[in-house]
Amino acid sequence: MADLESDKVVTITLNGSGLPVPSLDPIPVKKDKQKIRWCAAFPFTIDIDGYTDVKYGTGSGSCAHDAKTGTFTTQQPYKYSITANGQTNDPDIDVQP
């Protein structure tokens, strides 16, 4: 089994106009080694182009809602969407070797 590196934790906040904004953009992750966990105080959805392994849960404290991915097996950039508060933001994931 590969040595897994720490998962990336991305906090989502709402900017002044209510748009969901990630704390990292793009999110750099290591191919086959890291997962991403998004965390927010409000409900949100994540939609990653060409990727379907996203699971939702409930966190704790300031992270009342979260979403987690599996590892990424293809080294490429991914475009993804965060939808919350009736608005959608389209940041990036950068899968690195």
Instruction: Note whether residue 90 is domain-resident.
Output: yes
Domain CATH code at residue 55: 2.60.40.420
Instruction: Note whether residue 3 is domain-resident.
Output: no
pLDDT at 60: 73
Instruction: Note whether residue 1 is domain-resident.
Output: no
Q: Which domain holds residue 17?
A: 8-96
pLDDT at 65: 96
Instruction: Note whether residue 58 is domain-resident.
Output: yes
- Tens of pLDDT along the chain (97 residues)? 445 578 899 999 999 999 999 999 999 999 999 999 999 999 999 999 999 999 999 877 778 999 999 999 999 999 999 999 999 999 999 999 9
Q: Are 25 and 94 in contact (CB under 8 A)?
A: no
Instruction: Note whether residue 81 is domain-resident.
Output: yes
Q: What is the DSSP letter of 22?
A: E
Query: Half-sphere exposure of residue 37, counting CA atoms within 13 Å on the CB side?
Result: 12
Q: Measured between alpha carbons, how far is 86 from 97 in angstroms, rounded to an integer?
A: 35
**Number of domains within the chain:** 1
pLDDT at 62: 76
Q: Are strands 65-69 and 54-57 parallel, antiparallel or unpaired?
A: antiparallel
pLDDT at 4: 55
Instruction: Note whether residue 59 is domain-resident.
Output: yes
Instruction: Note whether residue 82 is domain-resident.
Output: yes
